[in-house]
């Protein structure tokens, strides 16, 4: 009994430390680090939504970045061409991303296992191709520039890195809480049941397909919102944001952090964003470093950092061993 | 006992956490401490990966050749060149720019290869109030409707080369009907747009406009669907794709039928070996050629040979003059690049009479006025080169139009000018 | 008329290249249920090696041989070292193949630089065959004839030989095959090598056809995906039919609707997914 309390205390403490870092440190950190923090959080929202699928429902949706990209483009177009407000861009980003996932979900869910992986990846490539060639809407390879930071009517300028970061953090917190509530709800518990054994859930009378479909749509909506924030962050959106590299990176964020623990996805997002941006300062071969991360984490840490952490714990705290 | 041990553990981690935070803060703070006279940091953005990788390397090489000449020092300050990868697409460039401005805290940004990257980067430089001196990329509007006091360009634009091409095609090549094949992004749109406008104003007709994705690998389908009724083709296919394109043109027999006219980037000296004999006879428009017979050019070529043991290419030449421009401007303000307005004023008012390209000066909108040459690919002494065929002296980005009137119509784009004679 | 003949010819010769790429991909998928993201990298490495061999020796056929062998070995090493242990864990395997793809891409950049390279074919393959007012590049004819020949060879191997039967058995039911005494690990190793070999072969031919440069691996991968999805994952005939469909649609699409270039490619894939997710020849 006390090890569980013990390990839970560690978890809470780690969360507390992480949260403190995210909330308190930005005004004291170098600008560039704060900028990377903000970028990590936009991806973290998308990564968490993907974790809902991979970690909690057992759906390996490799192409999830497509909905992030749809959200990003929607915001980009509405903000730059129509000067839409934040409320407007958020609304449309989420609606369009959710709509796309509602439309494409049935297509993807016709398959299972590795076929599902392939098909979601192929769908993501379709979205990329669309962004690339539908030049009149998306600007094609030129992307969309001139996305100004949202005017929220607050006294703090959004162009400042620290203020913008806190804005993104607030949005992230809302998403985290919402997703946490979803996971704790009966719906969320059903998803976990589906992940563990689909056949059992079917036998028990649950409509597995509908649950998967709803999870897919919900995940798409959150990813779209992440994309919306990303567009504001980056000031620029291009087909690159939905390419194969980004597809797999989003998955890597989930797996390296630890699937099935929302926080793991957030941690993974931070790790990957910082890795990509910082490593290139020290070596030109940063792609190889990223490659090593893919391979090593898949081989030795399939449950990600949080899984590693848990394993280290159980190794230390053998039942009845460490208490006095 | 348990409680104390837990308490100890917690305290330990809190201390560790605080130490980490302090270390991060101190570490980066220390790095921004300068020496006596801080070096001038120039952020240089050029592709080192992807389709444009070789071009990017030429850019950095050309820029460095000039900096080496002055021993990386100007007005008693050292110059620190930070080169970042532009990548294959604007997205990478945007990320790197963010790092240059926020982490490296550069004093100015130079370079840029791809037109669409320039369009993406310019607004971000302006927002951060960091001077941007473009030493290669095009992008008409950056020095026209979207001009900024923080931006200057010393190279060329699609419209500048396109206008000249249109004039040459009509008056010297005698073309009356033309098909165009261009890469489907801003560089292609603007070059073709300018060509079409002038060509049609002079009485010619563009009867077909084909746009190919930037990543096209197989130009076969595009080439074989070209309207055979034309007198010639104006093409804007750059980088490695140019090699593939010209190969298909040759293989399909089109090269024997028609003459090919293109902006010089299609037959940049760096590509000529790869293009090989497929390129012989291709006409191009560019502010420089390896074969340009100027004393300053001969000196430049010799410096390149000594420094990087290669022959000079168009891209290198552009960046060499860009570097010279920046350094002379820095000298003009006595090294005070921190005063950005003053620095940009110096950039704008500079003139170079004896560059390897001929005489250069900037117009009031921030773009260069220089001599544009028509070249033709020929084999001289067993080596392919762009022989000079014609010179258009001191061409402005606005050609002979009045700038304010010119800017009232939209920027050249995919559908502008509209293709009235398209069949 | 001229337009249709030219485009069909171009489309089919491009399909030949796609078959090499998609064929290997589908073989690997069929036996091991792995979507090999490093497949484009196999093509890339093959092309680069072919380029180097031709530059050093001038022998096109030697280049093909060396490239095939090297890439096949590479593929087998990859399978044995990294993928074998993770049988059945699709996500982990895909992540590993992604990591290897990035590694190979960077390695090629390190060794061969960022410059796009072109392979020079022997003179009898360069140039075009003139038939009336049509020009048919000889290299394309070579590809057009080579691919079906290769297909027939592979098909014969798969259907008519004992080893082929073992492969088919392993595809259908791995456990039973092992029970029957078939050395399944050896079969998977061999098939992975064969799939990689095809990609490497495609790389050399592709390098001669349209050059090679960093980033080409990820640019070609979507095409391999589409071929395999349309044709059916795991089926050689599917790869052939899929590549023909994709080659023709891509060509005609580019010529007739240039703006929708990628869309004309992905639309048929979406249709196939909607109607028959396992592809035309796929096993259900």
- How far apart CA C155 and CA C157 sit, in angstroms, is 5
Report the distance separating Cα B120 and Cα C84, nearest Å. Answer: 45
A1's enclosing H/E stretch is none
Chain C from 45 to 84: CB within 8 A of any B CB = none
C49 touches chain A (CB under 8 A): no
Asked if the model's pLDDT at residue A323 lies above 60, the reply is: no
H/E stretch holding A259 = none
Task: Note the CATH number of domain B40-156+293-366.
Answer: 3.40.50.2300
C77 touches chain A (CB under 8 A): no
pLDDT exceeds 80 at position A215: yes
String of DSSP letters for B388-422: EEEEEEEE-TTTTS-HHHHTTSPPPBTTBS--TT-
Q: What angle do CA B101, B104, B110 make, to 5 degrees?
A: 60
Quick check: helix, strand or coil at residue B285? strand
Domain chopping of chain B, boundaries: 40-156+293-366, 159-286+372-406
Sign of CA dihedral B231, B237, B239, B244: negative
Taking the Cβ of residue A272 and every Cβ of chain C, the question of whether any pair is shorter than 8 Å is answered with: no
Percent of chain C with pLDDT over 90: 28
B332 Cβ contact list (under 8 Å, min separation 6):
B346, B350
Digit-coded pLDDT (tens) for A81-116: 888 888 899 999 999 999 999 999 988 888 888 888
Q: How far is the C-alpha of C21 from the C-alpha of C221, rounded, in Å?
A: 9
pLDDT at B4: 47
Question: pLDDT truncated to tens, each residue of chain B (423 aa)?
Answer: 444 444 445 555 555 655 666 566 555 544 544 445 789 999 999 998 767 878 898 999 999 999 999 999 998 899 999 999 898 788 889 989 999 999 899 999 999 998 889 999 999 999 889 999 999 999 899 999 988 999 999 999 999 999 999 999 999 999 999 999 999 888 999 999 999 999 999 999 999 999 888 777 778 888 888 888 899 999 999 887 898 899 889 888 888 888 999 999 999 998 898 888 999 999 999 999 999 999 999 999 999 999 999 999 999 999 999 999 999 999 999 988 999 999 999 999 999 998 999 999 999 999 999 999 999 999 999 999 999 999 999 999 999 999 999 999 998 988 889 988 887
Token duo for residue A188: 């969320």
Are the beta carbons of A114 and C90 closer than 8 angstroms? yes
Please tell me which residue of chain A has the smallest CA distance to C36: A118
Least CB–CB distance from B221: residue in C115, C213, C255: C255
Q: Can you give the pLDDT at residue A7?
A: 66
C interface test, pick of A50, A105, A111, A118 with most C CB neighbours within 10 Å: A118
Given a contact cutoff of 8 angstroms between Cβ atoms, the answer to whether C280 and C242 are in contact is yes
Residue C41 has pLDDT above 50, yes or no: yes
CATH number for the domain formed by residue range(s) B159-286+372-406: 3.40.50.2300
Provide ipTM, 2 decimals: 0.83
Where is B85: in which H helix or E strand? Answer: strand B77-85
Q: Which residues pair with B385 in a beta bridge?
A: B378
* Helix or strand (DSSP H, E) at B111: strand B108-111
With the C-alpha atoms ordered B192, B197, B199, B203, is the resulting torsion angle positive or negative? positive
pTM for this structure?
0.84
d(CA C31, CA C259): 38
Q: Which of C199, C210, C204, C151 is nearest to C14 (CA)?
A: C210
| Chain B residues touching A145 at Cβ < 8 A | 119-120, 123
CA distance A280 to chain B (A): 9
Distance CA C16, CA C209 (A): 11
DSSP B41-52: EEEEEE--SSTT
Chain C partners within 8 Å of B240 (Cβ)? 116, 211, 213
**CB A1: neighbour CB atoms within 10 A?**
6
B284 strand-pairing partners? B262, B375
C82 to chain A, any CB pair closer than 8 A? The answer is: yes
Paired sense of beta strands B205-212 and B177-183, if any: parallel
Q: Please report residues of B whose CB lies closer than 8 A to that of A21.
A: 17, 21
Interchain proximity C210–B211, CB inside 8 Å: no
More confident residue, B221 or A200: A200
Interface residue B5 vs chain C (CB under 8 A): no
Q: B137 near B118, Cβ under 8 Å?
A: yes
The pairing of strands B73-74 and B77-85 is: antiparallel
C139, two tokens? 């290299």
Is the CB of residue B211 less than 8 Å away from at least one CB of chain C? yes
> Is there a contact between C234 and C30 (Cβ–Cβ < 8 Å)?
yes
From A29's Cα to the closest Cα of chain B, the distance in A is 6
- Establish whether domains B40-156+293-366 and B159-286+372-406 are of one fold: yes
- CA A167 to the chain's CA centroid: 17
Mutate to test the interface with B, among A28, A32, A237, A323 (most CBs of B within 10 A): A32
């Amino acid at each position: 009994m006390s090890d569980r309390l013990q390990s839970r205390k560690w978890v809470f403490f780690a969360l507390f430390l992480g949260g403190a870092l995210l909330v308190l440190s930005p005004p004291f950190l170098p600008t560039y680090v704060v900028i990377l923090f903000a970028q990590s959080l936009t991806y973290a929202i998308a990564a968490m939504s993907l974790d809902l699928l991979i970690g909690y429902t057992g759906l390996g949706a490799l192409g999830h970045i497509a909905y992030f990209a749809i959200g990003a483009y929607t915001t980009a177009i509405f903000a730059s061409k129509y000067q839409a407000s934040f409320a407007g861009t958020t609304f449309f980003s989420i609606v369009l991303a959710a709509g796309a996932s509602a439309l494409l979900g049935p297509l993807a869910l016709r398959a299972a296992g590795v076929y599902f992986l392939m098909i979601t990846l192929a769908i993501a490539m379709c979205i990329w191709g669309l962004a690339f060639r539908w030049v009149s809407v998306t600007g094609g390879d030129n992307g969309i520039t001139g996305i100004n930071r949202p005017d929220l009517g607050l006294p703090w300028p959004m162009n400042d890195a620290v203020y913008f970061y806190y804005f993104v953090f607030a949005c992230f917190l809302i998403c985290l809480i919402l997703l946490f509530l979803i996971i704790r709800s009966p719906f969320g518990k059903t998803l976990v049941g589906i992940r563990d054994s689909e056949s059992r859930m079917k036998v028990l009378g649950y409509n597995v397909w509908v649950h998967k479909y709803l999870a897919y749509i919900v995940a798409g909506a959150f990813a779209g919102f992440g994309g919306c924030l990303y567009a504001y962050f980056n000031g620029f959106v291009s087909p690159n944001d939905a390419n194969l590299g980004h597809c797999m990176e989003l998955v890597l964020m989930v797996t390296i952090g630890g699937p099935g623990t929302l926080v793991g996805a957030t941690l993974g997002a931070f790790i990957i964003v910082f890795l990509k941006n910082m490593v290139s300062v020290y070596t030109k071969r940063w792609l190889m470093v990223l490659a090593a991360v893919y391979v090593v984490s898949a081989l030795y840490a399939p449950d990600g950092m949080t899984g590693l952490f848990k394993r280290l714990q159980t190794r230390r705290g053998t039942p009845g061993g460490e208490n006095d | 006992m348990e409680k104390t041990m837990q308490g100890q553990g917690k305290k330990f981690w809190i201390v560790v956490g605080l130490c980490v935070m302090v270390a991060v803060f101190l570490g980066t703070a220390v790095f921004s401490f300068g020496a006596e006279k801080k070096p001038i940091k120039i952020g240089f953005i050029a592709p080192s990966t992807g389709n444009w990788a070789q071009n990017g390397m030429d850019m950095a090489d050309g820029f460095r050749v000039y900096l080496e000449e002055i021993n990386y020092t100007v007005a008693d300050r050292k110059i620190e060149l930070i080169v970042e990868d532009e990548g294959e697409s604007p997205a990478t460039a945007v990320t790197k720019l963010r790092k240059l401005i926020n982490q490296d805290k550069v004093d100015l940004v130079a370079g840029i290869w791809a037109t669409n990257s320039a369009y993406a980067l310019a607004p971000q430089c302006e927002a951060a109030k960091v001077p941007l001196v473009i030493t290669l990329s095009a992008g008409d509007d950056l020095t026209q409707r979207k001009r900024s006091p923080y931006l200057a360009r010393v190279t060329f634009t699609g419209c500048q080369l396109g206008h000249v091409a249109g004039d040459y095609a009509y008056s010297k090549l005698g073309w009356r009907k033309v098909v165009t094949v261009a890469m489907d992004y801003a560089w292609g749109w603007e070059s073709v747009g300018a060509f079409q406008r002038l060509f049609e104003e002079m009485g010619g007709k563009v009867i077909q406009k084909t746009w190919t994705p930037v990543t096209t690998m197989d130009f076969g389908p595009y080439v074989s669907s070209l309207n055979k009724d034309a007198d010639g083709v104006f093409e804007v296919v750059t980088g490695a794709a140019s090699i593939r394109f010209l190969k298909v043109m040759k293989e399909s027999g089109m090269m024997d039928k028609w003459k090919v006219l293109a902006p010089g980037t299609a037959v940049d000296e760096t590509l000529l070996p790869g293009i090989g004999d497929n390129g012989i006879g291709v006409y191009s428009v560019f502010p420089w050629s390896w074969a340009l017979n100027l004393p300053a050019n001969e000196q430049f070529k010799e410096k390149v040979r000594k420094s990087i043991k290669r022959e000079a290419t168009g891209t290198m030449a552009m960046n060499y003059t860009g570097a010279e421009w920046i350094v002379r401007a820095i000298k003009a303000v006595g090294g005070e690049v921190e005063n950005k307005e003053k620095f940009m004023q110096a950039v704008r008012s500079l003139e170079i009479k004896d560059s390897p390209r001929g005489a250069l000066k900037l117009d009031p909108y921030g773009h260069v006025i220089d001599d544009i040459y028509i070249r033709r690919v020929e084999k001289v002494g067993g080596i392919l080169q762009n022989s000079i065929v014609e010179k258009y002296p001191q061409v402005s980005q606005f050609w002979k139009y009045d700038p304010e009137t010119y800017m009232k119509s939209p920027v050249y784009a995919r559908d502008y000018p509209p293709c009235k004679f398209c069949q | 008329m001229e337009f249709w003949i030219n485009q069909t010819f171009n489309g089919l010769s491009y399909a030949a290249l796609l078959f090499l790429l998609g064929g290997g991909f589908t073989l690997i998928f069929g036996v091991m249920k792995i979507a090999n993201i490093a497949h484009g990298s196999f093509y890339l490495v093959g092309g680069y090696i072919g380029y180097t061999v031709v530059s050093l020796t001038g022998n096109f056929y030697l280049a093909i041989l060396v490239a095939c062998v090297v890439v096949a070995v590479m593929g087998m090493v990859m399978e044995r070292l990294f993928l074998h242990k993770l049988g059945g864990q699709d996500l982990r395997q895909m992540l590993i193949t992604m990591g290897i793809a990035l590694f190979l891409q960077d390695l090629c950049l390190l060794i061969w630089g960022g410059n796009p390279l072109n392979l020079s074919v022997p003179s009898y393959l360069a140039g075009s065959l003139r038939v009336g007012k049509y020009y048919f590049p000889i290299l394309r004819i070579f590809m057009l004839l080579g691919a079906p020949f290769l297909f027939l060879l592979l098909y014969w191997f798969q259907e008519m030989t004992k080893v082929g039967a073992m492969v088919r058995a392993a595809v259908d039911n791995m456990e039973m095959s092992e029970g029957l005494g078939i050395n399944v690990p050896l079969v998977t190793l061999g098939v992975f090598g064969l799939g990689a070999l095809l990609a490497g072969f495609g790389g050399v031919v592709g390098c001669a056809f349209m050059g090679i440069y960093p980033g080409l691996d990820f640019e070609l991968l979507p095409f391999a995906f589409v071929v395999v999805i349309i044709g059916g994952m795991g089926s050689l005939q599917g790869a052939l039919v899929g590549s023909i469909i994709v080659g023709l649609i891509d060509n005609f699409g580019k010529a007739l609707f240039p703006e929708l270039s990628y869309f004309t490619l992905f639309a048929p894939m979406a249709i196939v997914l909607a109607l028959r997710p396992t592809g035309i020849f796929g096993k259900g």
